[in-house]
Structures are given as structure tokens and as C-alpha cells.
Structure 1
Amino acid sequence: MSAAFFSKVASFLRTESSLDALRNILTILLPSSLLFLFWDGHIAVAFAVGTLLASLTDLPGNKADKLTTAAYCIPIFFITSITSSLALHYDSWTIVLLLGIFGFVYTIIALLGFRINVVGNLGLIVASFTIGLRPEDPIQFSLSVTAGAIFFFIVCIAQVYLFPHRSLRYAVEGGISNMAKLIRLKVDCYDEDVPLNKTYKQLSALHARVSDQLESVRSILLRDKYLLAEGNAYSKRWLGKLYQLVDLYELLMAVDNDYETIRETLRGGKTLHTIRRSLAILAFETARLMQSNKEKTFRSIGTSELNRLFLQLEADQRQSSPEKAALIYSISAQLKQLSDILQNIHVSKFAADDSWIESKNFKDFVAPQSSFQTIVKNLNFRSPIFSYAVRMSILLISGGLIGYLLPEYRYASWILLTIILVARPSYTITQKRNYQRIVGSLIGIAISLLLLVFIKNTLVLLVIAALCLYLFLLFNKPNYLVCVIFITITILLGQKLHEGELHDILGSRFAFTLLGSIFAVLGCLAIPINHYRSVEQTTASLYKHFRDYLDKIQESYQTENLNHYDLRLLRKFTQASLAQSYDSLEQFAKEPLRGKAFKADIQHLQTLAYRINALLVGLSVNITKLGLDWNHDAMNSRVNYVQVLIEEAEELLKKLAQSKRTKDSNNVHFQPSK
């Protein structure tokens, strides 16, 4: 038990985000400590704030990604800090107006991509920190914050030049880790005692995560001109890993029949148990690839056990009816292909085959970059992000106005910080973040109080604050509740050492955090996001991709002319569209006022979409990788079955739309009795 725990801890500490946390804490503390000791304490604090907040904008990516982040982050930090600190310096009401402008602009730029979205969010936090620190010298403060951000990006970009494939390596390993989870979940699909509806929902959610992981690998690899340059020794190696991951994902998603049919056909005997055991070994060996850097290959014991199970499946096939034998043969072929890919995924050299895409077409497999024209098109309330930006602007103006009317305006920073960190487009996510922030703040306050009561040594308290800052950076991405605890301790200890008033600090932290949480919830209810509009758009796009993918599969089979470029591109578009559709349906289901009324239909739609996608991938895999000899009647039967499922999904969506219109109409015409 203890060995497994320490193994998980060691695995966690080896992740990219954990190593980044160590880099970030050193980047923050070393120069800030020198500035504090040999120059000026106020400059050191502002420099540390700039470095800390800039470090939180850093996401995995290649050199171009890091430079893009720096190009947005540095000017945003400077503009925000200088304007906010000047307004505070002159006690001007314009600080409230500035908060409204920042709230809208830094939220709407999320349309330029997730990386810019994070920068915008941190820009809002710069405004909150500026209000909390209330600098005496605005110019010195803003230049110090900006210098901290510049210093961080110098370190970050230098690291990219020294280790250019670092993010790519971690992205590939993250993809393998998610594949292991997917294989473990597939075991339940062949277990008659596990309800399929539950399994389908879990598979759909995991599919979205795996799709994002593969998109991350593509984004880092296929946009790196140096890595893909002709004659680059690394090019074929990394491309091979990407192809292996994509092929592995296809095999895991692919089915020839619905799992209900598979369970019914293979009922009785030990075939289902043999399949489950094979998948369990594949999942274990896949996960083991992530645990050791020295020997990332299958163990001989795992290989020998798999071979024995494959022989058992062949025996079952020979003793079965033609229908059952064909199904066993198909599943067995997929399992063998899985085993081959997993055993070769860390091979340093890959031989290109007919399924590889020409380098000139790589750009088609990378998500297109948004432009400022995208923002212009979304400047209306039909756009969810526009509604969210207006909501954030109003919330920050409200929080800033309350703070402006208080004698100690700096304490309003807790209101603003809570709104920035908690308020999300979805009501459910906002409530979850509220819970995590309030509970984390309470725990952090309690621990800080104990530390300040029993420890009087300033140096010890500084060390504890530095350790908690590192733990905040460590848990910032994986666990928001835990990171709130540690950042609360860090800030409260730092403010106590800086200002000395314990009761004011503790009281303001909790009271204004609670007020900010209330504002965030009221904002969700007052300016709700119409998630159903996203459902209409994403599902319509998904069904179009389903039909395009199905047409191309049918055309490829009938003409016996495989166009791997078209099949891979359509598969990629379909997978991405499925992930977007799942997310929009999930957000609609969580709407506080009407989502629950449609929950059953939404779950049915998600299940149908997953089944259609799995069957489509199954058809594609069988004609491109497994080489099964199907006759046209069998092919047409499977194609017709998928078409029926697509039509069923489209009818269900129409029913959902009609139900929503009826419910909305009833709500509009409802008049309370007098």
C-alpha cells in the first residue's frame, strides 16, 4: 500500500507541471530575495508578484507558443498595473471604470485561444493585486511588476531553447497515460454486470480528455517548423509516436457492433472473460510505460500471458458459429494490433507506411488560429463569451464600487480576486469553485492562525510562506481546493509580516471572499449563458461530420481506393466535434433553471453520439488496418445501421428543441395569480 502511494507521488512529481512548479518557485524567490536584501523591499514584492503571475500564464507548448504568451502577457501586465496604480494614487473613481473595461476586454480575448484566455485572466488578477498592495509609487510598482514578468519569460524561453522537445515529450506521455485509463474503462464494456449507460457516459467524458491530449500533441509537433524540417533526425521519431497514438486511439474507440450486441452474441463460455483479461493486461502494461524511464517496454510475462489469451480466443473462434466466430476474430485482431502498437510505441525509429500524410498537409490537422475578426463577430448577446464578458465587467464594477466606498479600499481586492477566480460561464462550475474557495480559505485561515500564534520567529514564518507558495504552484492545476489552502497561508503570513495586524487580515480575507462568492453566483443568475445555442451549433456540426465520415468510408470500400489523408482528416474533425458536442450538452444539462428537465434526453444524445462514433471508427479501422475481408452485403448492413442511429440522434435533437420551445413558451406566458 505504502509502495503504491509513494509510486503515485513520485509519478506526480515527475509531471511537467510539477517540474514547472519547482522552476517557478526558484525563479520567484531567488531574484526577489536579492532585491529585498540589497535594494528595496517594495520593489522586491512587486517583482515577485509580476514573476508569480507571469508563471501562471505558462502552458505547455513550443517556442512560438511561449513567445506568443510573452507578447500578450508583458504589455497587459504593464498597462493594467500602471493604470490601476495611478488611479489608486490619485484616489480617482476611474479605478471602478477601469475594472469594468478590464473585465470585458480581458474576458472577450478568450476567443483568441485558451493561451490568451489564461493571460487575460491573470491580467485581471494583476488589477486585484495592485488594489491589495496599493503602491505608493505607481511608476516604480508597474515597472517592477513588468520586470518580473520579463524575467520569467527570459527563463522560460531559455528553457525552450535548451530543451526544445520537453513539452512534446510530456504531451506524448500524457497521451499514453490517458490511453491506459481508456483501456481500463473498456474492460467494463465486456462485463455483463456493468450497466452500459454508465460506461458510455464515462467513455464519453474520457474521450473528450483524450481528444484534447491528442490535439495538444498535434499542436506542439505539427506547428514546429524546425522539428519537421527535412533531414531532421527527430522528425520521423516524433511523427511516428503521433501516428502510434492516433492509431491506438482509433483501435480503442472502434467497435464492429454495439456492446449490447457483443455481450448478447458472446454470452456464455469464457470469451468475454478472456477479452476482459486481455484488456486488463494491456491497460496495466500501458500504465507501466509511464512509471520507468529506463525500460519502457512490455515485460516478457505480460507478453507471454497475452499470447496465451490470444490462443484461447482463436480456440473459441474455431468452436463457435460463423456469426460468433467473425465477431471473435474482429475483436482478437484489434487486441493484437493494440499489443503491437504498445510494444513499439517507444521504438526510436519508425518506418513510414502508406497511411502517413505528406508534410505539406500537416497544417490541415492543426486547429486554425483565431483572429481579432473573430472577436468582432462575437460582439452580440447571441455569443456566450460576449454575455460572459459583460457579466464579468458588471461584477468587477460592482465589487470595485463597494471597495471604493469602504475606508480601506485595498481589502476590496479579496472581493475582486474571488470574482475573477470563481465566476465561470457555467453555474455548476461557479458553485463548485465557490465551495472550493470558501472551504480552502477557511482551512488556510485556521492553519495561518495556528502558525502565527505558536511561531514568532520571522525567518521560520518566511520559510513556511515560501514552502506554501511552492505547494500552491504544485497544486494549482491538479487541485484548486488544495492550492487555495496554500495560497491563503502564503498571503496571510506575508501580510502579517509586512503589516502586523492579524485580526484585520483574517477578518477581511473571509468576509470579502464570501461577498465575492455571493456576487459570482448572483452574476450567473442575473446574466445566464444560453448553453442551448452552443448545443444546436455543435450537434449540427457533429452530425454533418458523421455523415461526411460515413460517406468517405463507404466510397473507400466500394472503390477499393483508400485515401488515408481524407479518412484521417475526417476522423480528426469528427473526434474534435464529438468532444465539443459532449461539452456543450454537459454544460446545458447543468443549467440551474432548466437543465435538469432535459437531463435524460441529453444523456441519451451523448450515448448515441458515442455509439455512432465508435461504429464509424470501427468501419474505418477494418478497411485500413485490420484488413478484414467483408462482402458488400455485410458492409452495407453496417453502414445502414449507422445511418439509422444518426437519424435517431437527429430526431432526438428535434424532440429536445421542441421540448425546450414548449417549456420556454410556458415560462413566458405564465402569470402568477393575483
Structure 2
Amino acid sequence: MGSTNFTKSVLTVIAVVTPLAIGISTGYAEIGVAICFGAFWCNPSDVHGSLKHKVYGILFSAALVMVVSFIGGYLHFSPWLSLVILGVVSFAISMISSYGFRASLISFSGLLALVISFAHTPDQLKIYEYSLLVGLGGMWYLALSLLWFKINPKGQTEEILYETIGRTGKLMKKRGKLISELSNRKKLLKSLFLMQSELTEQHDTLREILILSRKNSGRSVYNGKRVLVLAQLIEMLETAGANPVNYTKMDKQFQAHPEFTALFQNLIFEMAEQLQMIAAIGNKPKKIPKHNHLKDRFDDLALKIQELGKVKDAKSYEAFIMFQNFLEYQEKQFDKIKRIKWLLSDHDVASEEFIDKEILKRFLISQDYSPRILLRNLSFRSTIFRHSLRMSITLMIGFVLGNLFAFQNAYWILLTIILIMRPNYGLTKTRSKDRTVGTIIGGLIATVIVFLVQDVYVYATLALISFVIALSMLQKNYKLSAIYVTLSIVFIYGILQPDVMTVIQYRILDTLLGAALSYLGFLFLWPSWSFQEIRKDVAKSVAANSTYLKEISDFYVHKGTVPTSYRLARKSAFLETSNLSSAFQRMTQEPHSKQKNLNKIYELVELNHNFLSALASLSIYIQHHTTTEASERFNDITSKINENLSSVLKMLSAVSKNSEKMNLDEVISFQKQLPKFQSEQVNLSSNDTHEFKRNHQEEQLIWEQLRWLYSLSANMMKLTSTL
């Protein structure tokens, strides 16, 4: 109930109902309807993000719907002219999506305005007056949105922040399960990839809100503390993926010492639980959980690992080194949790602890709004171009069928098409199914209520409640939202006309036809399949990982302070790997005939994730430990790994693969020559001082990660050469 989605839906109902009620009560119903439409159409662009971007989004929506309403005012003069205008204007509006996510929502507002133009033509107002009033409706919604922001300026930030903390806890819990669930690991990894992708998107949204928010005297400390919390959460994502060795070696050690499996799992689960508790309580500093119990778990585990280290046996010593490294990764997570608790409490934070705003801005992904973006997308190679063309033609077909068979509300077919059709197959198919099922269920519920109740005041109340729930559930549960949309529409028509059963019948029929057209339109009108683009996504991820490896290598060689370029490379690596996971997820939702090389693509996705995991392990270790001087051998190996990655990129870019295939024997030969950490060669009878063990920890972790990275890069080469 307290979510921003719910408050936004209540705000929308107020923005829609108020001018309508005033207009009807004063005898200026058409003015009320025009303002009501303008407010409703600007609602989609009011999404999470900075206040500046939100205001610009609503303003652009208001301008667009005003222009579209003016054009739409002339649609009723000639059906054939209307058909042409519908096709051309819908294509132009859909192309706005070239400018990113917020632009796609502005585009959606324009399409809504265009479709409703077929349903409503002003009788008393001139067309230009009507369109100006629609624009005024957009301004009215913006005013309400800004007023609510003044009343509750922290609401959006708090919701996304605590949601991100909770999701980080879920990610950690899933990571903990990977320690023991060997048979289920593939399934766990798939869901983990998806979760990492969602978390990376949340980091970007939160980063935008916090960095671009105007810092006035009342909110600077608040924003600064939240920025520091975000920094901890981003580092926790990196640490969560880190392993001291690859899973195969890890499994062997846990099988040899099974008592440590439960100890480590319980430790990770406890940390995950603490994060989820912080997320559940929200902004209530006094209820933040204590970490005494968690500290006891760490102490017990550290003691058992130290006891293992006293065993004068090579295999036990190797396990000790690995467990000690793994424990230190978890200690880093614990430190971050403690810091998050401290930042979210009432403690004062010194201003010098805030991260420089100008440096932070470099981590934002800025959207290019130049005309060349639009021109670049005017090609069949562009997914947006094909989607826009597909949308316009499907709408034209829907318009012709609606008029040809004299549907009661033909515009409902068009409305269903713009609500369902999306640039990718998986989402279009899911929305088609959810919209159809939701409409049928909503229709059945409405039928029962209409038979039992014949009261317009009850209908009005139920219509308002259904409308609020429908809008608040739109992003989280589309099927449930479709049920409530149907209920609200049926109840509104129940107030306006007595024959409600006919309305329900046509509502279901129009939805079925619109859903079918959307699905078939995607299948037969220049479909965009993921296998056509996945190669580019893999290449971007490999390139980002390569850059991150170079930054890690430079830092290990030169030591000192972690540079901004290092953090930017890390962000890019996680972002591109996240994008690759999303692209693969879309591919799995497509028809089997379009899932070309699916198993090999999945292997590449998994290899990329494992590569990033190994990089994260190196990164965290060298940042938080005093390391020895980098050897020539280290430089040689990192150079060879980068050579392998360069070869992968060449093959992915369709450069001749023959020369790369010829180098595979050399790659395998070099891999065999790589030194291993040999526990048998360690002189355990010597004085095992802290420095003695620390050097072995560094040796084991660095060489294990380098061997793993080289092996992964070699496997990428082999796999890519077969694609």
C-alpha cells in the first residue's frame, strides 16, 4: 500500500477524476474530459529516476499528446484517410523509443492519445482548443506529481534503496546455496544470472536518483549517506560473486571437510537474513538488527579454520588456505553490512566521507538525444525500426477488421495492440497470454457482480478501486492488472449504459482479437530474434571483462590508491555481463526453431560469468591486502589471457576464424605450463608464522585465479571457434 506504484496510481485517479467531476458539475464536461485525458496520458512517463528527468519526461509527454490530439481530431472525416494517418503517425511515435526506456514510455503516451482519438471527438470544442486542454491536463498531472514530491521527497529513494538491500540479501542467499547444491547448480546459476541483471539495473536507477538529485541544505547529508550505502551494495555484488578457487576445486575441499559446508552456508544465510531484515523495517534506525550473533558465527568459523591450519598435512593445509581466503571474503561482506547499518542509523557522517559528485557523474550512463540516433535507427538492421513498422501495420490491420466487422468499440482492438506488442517475442507472447486470461477472468467477475448488484454508486466505487489497483499492479503483475482494468471499464460502462453484458462480451472479443493480432504480427512482420543480436552482446561482455582485467593487472603491479578508471571498468564489466544475461533470457523465451546454438550460447554466458567471478576474486584480494611485487610470470599470464580474449572478439566480429583455430594447440600447451599452488611443496615443519601463511594465501589465490582465468579464456576461444 505504501509503495510508489500505489501512491502514483492514487495520484493518477485524483488527476483524472477531479477535472472530470468539476467539468460535469459545472456543465463543461468536454473541458473536463480533455484535461482528464491529458493527465492520464502523461502518467506512463512518470517513472523512477531523478526529478529532472521525470519533469522532462512528463513535459515531453504533454507536448506529444497535445500534437497527437490535434492530428487525431481530424481522423473521423474519412476512414481511408484515418487508416493512412494511423499508420504514419503510429510509426513516427514508435520511433521515439530509439532514445531509451523513458522515451519508450513517452512514445506509449503518444500511442494512447492516438488510439483514443478514434473513440472521442469533441462536439462543442474546436480541435485546437481540445488539444490545448489536453496539454493543460499534462501540466495538471505534472503539478500534482511535483506537489507529492514536495510532500514526500524521500519516498522514491527509500523504496528503491531498501528494495535493493533486500534483493542483495536474496542474491547472497542464492550464492550460499551454490556451496552444497551440486546437482541443482545449473538451475541456480541461471536464476542467479537473472537476479544479478535485475540488481545491476536497480543500482543504475538508484545511482541516477542520488547523483542527479538537487542537493539543498536539508537533503545533502541524507543523499550523501545513501550514496555511501549504494557504494557498499555495489561492492557487495562484486564480493558475492568472488570465489578463492573455481567450483570444481571448491567442491573437492568441502567434500573432504564436510563440516565446513554447513558452517559457511549458515554464515552466508545469516548475513543475507540481516540484509532482508534491514529491507523489511525500512527507515527505522532503532529497529536495525544487532550483529552480535553474526560475529559469534565468524569467531567460531575462524577458530575451526585455525585448528585445520595446525594439521601438518599437505591436503589439510591446502584446504586451510582456501577456507581462510573464503572466510576473508565473507568478512568483507560483514564489514559492508556493518557499515550499511551505521550509515542508516542516526549517527552523523562527516562530509568528507561523501563521494565527490563530479566523480560520481562519470558512473552515470547518459542518454544521447541527438538526431543522428534516430537516423541510425532508420534501417531494417534496427530492432526499434522493425518494431515501429510492425506496430503501425498491425494497428492498421486491427483498424480495418474493427470497421469491417462493425465491432462495438473497435478502438479497444487498437488499444490492446499497443498495450501488448513489444520489441521482443518473449514479452509480447507473455503479455498476449496475460492480457487474454486477465480480461476473461475480469469479465467473469464483472458478470457475477452485475447480476448481484444494480447500483450506479456501487459501480462508481468499484470502478475507482479497480482502477487504482490496476495501475499499481501494472509493473509487477500484468495479468492481475488486466483483471482490474477490465473490471474498472465494465463498471464505468455500467454507469453510462444499461446493457452491461454486451459491453463485457465485446470487451473480451476485442481483447482476443487484439492479442491474436499482436502475437501474429510479431511472428510474420519482420520479427527480431535474439540469436541475431546475441553475438554483439557476448562481444561487449568479453571486451568489458578484458578492460577490467587490464585495470586489475595495472593496480596489482603499481599498487597505491584505487583509480576511478578501475571502478568504471568494474561497473562496465558487471553491466555488460548483466545485459548478456538478459539477452540470453530473452532468447530462451523464443520458439525453439529460433534458439540457434542455444547450448553453446549458454556456455559462453556461463564462461563470461565465471570469468567475472574470477576477476572479482582478484580485485577484492588485491584491494584489501598488502600484496607482494608482481612477477614477470604474472605479467606474461595476464598478457596471454588478454590475447585469448582478443582472439574471441575477432571471431565474434566475423573476422576470419582460421588463424584463430590454428592457435588453439599453442593455447593448450601454455595452459599446461602454468604453475600450480602445490601444497605438497610447502615446508610445513618450518615456522608457520602469520607472514608465512599470508604469502601462501596470496600465492594460492592469485595463481588459482590466473589459471582459472586462462582456462576460461581458452574455453571461450574453443567454443567461439565452433559457432
Pairwise CA distance, 1:184: 1.6
Pairwise CA distance, 1:407: 4.1
How far apart in 1 are the matches of 2:501 and 2:700?
A: 79
Alignment pair present for 1:122 and 2:109:
yes
> Structure 1 residues 429-438 or 343-352, which shifts more?
343-352
Contact 1:95-1:400 at 8 Å conserved across structures: no
Contact 1:535-1:584 at 8 Å conserved across structures: yes
* AA at the equivalent of 2:336: I
Contact 1:538-1:584 at 8 Å conserved across structures: yes
* Structure 1 residue aligned with 2:241: 253
Pairwise CA distance, 1:633: 7.7
Contact 1:314-1:329 at 8 Å conserved across structures: no
Contact 1:444-1:488 at 8 Å conserved across structures: yes
Contact 2:12-2:40 at 8 Å conserved across structures: yes
Unaligned 5+ segments in structure 1 are 1-12, 657-674
* Structure 2 residue aligned with 1:669: none
Alignment pair present for 1:220 and 2:215:
no
* Inter-CA distance 85–518: structure 2 relative to 1 (3 Å threshold): same
Alignment pair present for 1:175 and 2:164:
yes
How far apart in 1 are the matches of 2:237 and 2:440?
A: 43
Alignment pair present for 1:294 and 2:294:
no
Alignment pair present for 1:505 and 2:503:
yes
> Structure 1 residues 111-120 or 246-255, which shifts more?
246-255
* Structure 2 residue aligned with 1:639: 706
Q: How does 1:444-593 map to 2 (within 5 A)?
A: 444-526=442-524, 527-592=526-591
* AA at the equivalent of 1:331: F
Q: How does 1:75-86 map to 2 (within 5 A)?
A: 75-86=63-74
Contact 1:106-1:123 at 8 Å conserved across structures: yes
Secondary structure of 2:45's aligned partner: coil
Contact 1:357-1:565 at 8 Å conserved across structures: no
* AA at the equivalent of 1:41: A
* Structure 2 residue aligned with 1:109: 96
Contact 1:63-1:164 at 8 Å conserved across structures: no
Contact 2:398-2:414 at 8 Å conserved across structures: yes
> Structure 1 residues 647-656 or 212-221, which shifts more?
647-656
How far apart in 1 are the matches of 2:488 and 2:171?
A: 38
How far apart in 1 are the matches of 2:358 and 2:160?
A: 23
* Structure 2 residue aligned with 1:340: 335
* AA at the equivalent of 1:579: S
How far apart in 1 are the matches of 2:58 and 2:352?
A: 39
* Inter-CA distance 597–541: structure 2 relative to 1 (3 Å threshold): closer
Pairwise CA distance, 1:325: 1.4
* AA at the equivalent of 1:187: G
Unaligned 5+ segments in structure 2 are 310-315, 628-693
> Structure 1 residues 479-488 or 605-614, which shifts more?
605-614
* Structure 2 residue aligned with 1:442: 440
Q: How does 1:619-638 map to 2 (within 5 A)?
A: 619-625=618-624, 629=694, 631=698, 635-638=702-705
The superposition leaves residues 312-371 of structure 1 with CA deviations (integer Å, 9 ceiling, x where unpaired) of 2432343142221122122222222222222331145446899x8644332321002122
Secondary structure of 1:250's aligned partner: helix
Q: Among residues 111, 120, 123, which one is paired with 1:133 in the alignment?
A: 120
The superposition leaves residues 478-533 of structure 1 with CA deviations (integer Å, 9 ceiling, x where unpaired) of 10001101111111221232233334322321222111111112111112114233
Q: Among residues 262, 273, 278, which one is paired with 1:273 in the alignment?
A: 262
> Structure 1 residues 138-147 or 240-249, which shifts more?
138-147
Secondary structure of 1:456's aligned partner: coil
The superposition leaves residues 32-59 of structure 1 with CA deviations (integer Å, 9 ceiling, x where unpaired) of 3233223333443443333233223210
* Structure 1 residue aligned with 2:85: 98
* Structure 2 residue aligned with 1:602: 601
Pairwise CA distance, 1:209: 0.3
Pairwise CA distance, 1:17: 1.7
How far apart in 2 are the matches of 1:442 and 1:416?
A: 18
* Inter-CA distance 369–557: structure 2 relative to 1 (3 Å threshold): same
Contact 2:59-2:138 at 8 Å conserved across structures: no
The superposition leaves residues 379-434 of structure 1 with CA deviations (integer Å, 9 ceiling, x where unpaired) of 111111111111111111211222344546x7221211111111122223222111
Contact 1:111-1:370 at 8 Å conserved across structures: no
How far apart in 2 are the matches of 1:306 and 1:28?
A: 54
Pairwise CA distance, 1:645: 0.7
* Structure 2 residue aligned with 1:424: 422
Pairwise CA distance, 1:557: 0.8
Contact 2:41-2:61 at 8 Å conserved across structures: no
Contact 1:87-1:93 at 8 Å conserved across structures: no
* Structure 2 residue aligned with 1:3: none
Q: Among residues 361, 365, 368, which one is paired with 1:367 in the alignment?
A: 365
* Structure 2 residue aligned with 1:28: 16
How far apart in 2 are the matches of 1:614 and 1:555?
A: 19
> Structure 1 residues 162-171 or 147-156, which shifts more?
162-171
* Inter-CA distance 36–259: structure 2 relative to 1 (3 Å threshold): farther
* Structure 2 residue aligned with 1:67: 55
* Structure 1 residue aligned with 2:317: 322
How far apart in 2 are the matches of 1:470 and 1:337?
A: 44
* Structure 1 residue aligned with 2:28: 40
Pairwise CA distance, 1:655: 2.4
Alignment pair present for 1:211 and 2:200:
yes
Secondary structure of 1:133's aligned partner: coil
* AA at the equivalent of 1:534: E
* Inter-CA distance 287–230: structure 2 relative to 1 (3 Å threshold): closer
How far apart in 2 are the matches of 1:627 and 1:516?
A: 64
* AA at the equivalent of 1:286: L
The superposition leaves residues 259-306 of structure 1 with CA deviations (integer Å, 9 ceiling, x where unpaired) of 332222122331110111111111111111122232466533x53244
* AA at the equivalent of 2:54: K
How far apart in 2 are the matches of 1:483 and 1:626?
A: 51
How far apart in 2 are the matches of 1:141 and 1:486?
A: 29
* Inter-CA distance 231–148: structure 2 relative to 1 (3 Å threshold): closer
Secondary structure of 2:706's aligned partner: helix
Aligned length: 639
* Structure 2 residue aligned with 1:383: 382
Contact 1:175-1:210 at 8 Å conserved across structures: yes
Contact 2:12-2:43 at 8 Å conserved across structures: yes
Secondary structure of 2:279's aligned partner: coil
How far apart in 1 are the matches of 2:625 and 2:216?
A: 29
How far apart in 2 are the matches of 1:358 and 1:496?
A: 58
Q: Give the TM-score normalised by structure 2.
A: 0.83
Q: Among residues 38, 43, 49, which one is paired with 1:55 in the alignment?
A: 43
Identity %: 21
Secondary structure of 1:411's aligned partner: coil
How far apart in 1 are the matches of 2:434 and 2:338?
A: 42
> Structure 1 residues 632-641 or 467-476, which shifts more?
632-641
Pairwise CA distance, 1:31: 3.7
* Inter-CA distance 627–86: structure 2 relative to 1 (3 Å threshold): farther
* Inter-CA distance 132–504: structure 2 relative to 1 (3 Å threshold): farther
The superposition leaves residues 615-657 of structure 1 with CA deviations (integer Å, 9 ceiling, x where unpaired) of 111111111135575556852452242133133224323423x
How far apart in 1 are the matches of 2:2 and 2:330?
A: 30
Pairwise CA distance, 1:123: 1.6
Pairwise CA distance, 1:200: 1.1
* AA at the equivalent of 1:417: L
How far apart in 2 are the matches of 1:486 and 1:430?
A: 20
Pairwise CA distance, 1:437: 0.7
* Inter-CA distance 653–45: structure 2 relative to 1 (3 Å threshold): farther
